[in-house]
Amino acid sequence: MSETAPAPEPAAAADAPPLRAVVLAGGLTFEREVSLSSGTQVVEGLTRAGIDAELRDADAELLPGLAAAPADAVFIALHGATGEDGALRAVLDLAGVPYVGSAAAACRLAWDKPAAKSVVRSAGITTPDWVALPHSTFRELGAGAVLDLMVARLGLPLMVKPASGGSALGVQKVSRVEDLPAAMVSCFAYGDTVMVERYVEGVEVALAVVDLGDGPQALPAVEIEPESGVFDYSSRYTPGLTEYHAPARLDEDVARRAAELAVRVHEVLGLADLSRTDAIITPDGEVHFLEVNVSPGLTETSMFPMAVEAAGFELGEVLARLLANRAGRSR
């Protein structure tokens, strides 16, 4: 299996009717603004590639609109639960509407970070040790006692993050035990279950995977260098707070193993079309899986487009190829 994706095939003949795509963006999650930015970039890219693309929100008008004016395929640029937990995709399946991306069941698994880590670890992939517990456990058993056990098991520093969600919302690095309760309270604002993970020192990379019809292939890794040292929401979406290197500054062997890990994660979790795996590479070159995104960001500061560009491809052509495959049309 190669680690580099092949170039998209040439566009369809000029006299072929253009594909019609509906790009879903927005939603009612914490990540609405990021999603709208992603959706706008997708529409612009697809339009440049000759696709008739329309931006729509996932609201009560969506299903009647798709029934009245069917799309050849839907591209889901929704982030957060709406676009990533599988529910919307299950509804599109019921409506018989083809869409780019992973099926509902695979999305449900990937959305649940502890469950995905368990499956990945069972497949022999390295991932930092973790504990995931709901808010009720701390309330019923006493937060202090439970937190003490977490620190004794995992040590310090720790990464505290919601058990589901994206865009690094609620993610915090905790280096002092006295800061842990406040980090937990902050994290619970984004979900009922918190995952506390052992902090791994190293270089964070984003590993994009695409399947243009010949099986999943990894794009060049993107190295993430946040000014603050932690790739949180602000570092992720505020231009200038993070420096990116695409391709990542990795030894050839490490880059190969990182690419293999991303493809393996994509396969083990049953994902389709595109994904982005986040990983940490330690100073000795070991690659640690952190999480996977089934609807990766496609904004101007997102890593997936950087990886596509680093591979020498045009984002719009890659997305158009994925859309055409789902619509059953060649490009």
pLDDT digits (tens, 9 = 90+) for 172-218: 999 999 999 999 999 999 889 999 999 999 999 999 999 999 999 99
pLDDT band of 241, cuts 50, 70, 90: confident
Measured CA to CA, the distance from residue 222 to residue 86 in angstroms comes to: 27
Measured CA to CA, the distance from residue 109 to residue 92 in angstroms comes to: 18
Instruction: Please pick, among 84, 204, 223, 291, the residue that the annotation labels catalytic.
Output: 291
**Mean pLDDT, the chain, whole residue set:** 92
Strands (E), the chain: 20-24, 52-56, 73-76, 99-100, 130-134, 158-162, 172-174, 193-198, 203-210, 217-218, 222-226, 242-245, 274-281, 287-293
Is residue 293 part of the annotated active site? The answer reads: yes
Candidates 3.30.1060.10, 3.30.470.20, 3.40.50.150, 3.40.50.300; CATH matching 108-126+201-312: 3.30.470.20
Kindly report the pTM of this predicted structure: 0.91
Measured CA to CA, the distance from residue 190 to residue 30 in angstroms comes to: 8
Which pLDDT value is given to residue 13? 46
Instruction: Please give the residue that has the higher pLDDT: either 239 or 241.
Output: 241
pLDDT band of 1, cuts 50, 70, 90: very low
Instruction: Please pick, among 276, 321, 326, 331, the residue that the annotation labels catalytic.
Output: 276
With 50 as the cut, is the pLDDT of residue 11 above it?
Answer: no
pLDDT digits (tens, 9 = 90+) for 76-103: 999 988 889 999 999 999 999 999 999 9
Query: Helices then strands (H, E): number in the chain?
Result: 13, 14
Instruction: Please pick, among 101, 165, 297, 316, the residue that the annotation labels catalytic.
Output: 297
Instruction: Please pick, among 85, 197, 278, 317, the residue that the annotation labels catalytic.
Output: 278
Could you please state the CATH topology (level 3) that the domain comprising 130-198 is classified under: Dna Ligase; domain 1 (3.30.1490)
Is residue 276 part of the annotated active site? The answer reads: yes
With 80 as the cut, is the pLDDT of residue 27 above it?
Answer: yes
Chain-centre distance of CA 221, in angstroms?
14
Burial of 65-81, coded b for 16+ CB within 10 Å and e otherwise, reads ebeeeebbbbbbbbbbb
Which pLDDT value is given to residue 329? 75
- Domain locations in the chain as residue ranges: 20-101+318-327, 108-126+201-312, 130-198
Could you please state the CATH topology (level 3) that the domain comprising 20-101+318-327 is classified under: Rossmann fold (3.40.50)
Mean pLDDT of 52-56: 97
Find tokens 């590479």 and name the residue: 281
Is residue 167 part of the annotated active site? The answer reads: yes
Find tokens 């019809």 and name the residue: 213
Burial environment of residue 48 by CB neighbours within 10 A (0 to 12, 13 to 18, 19 or more): middle
Is residue 237 part of the annotated active site? The answer reads: yes
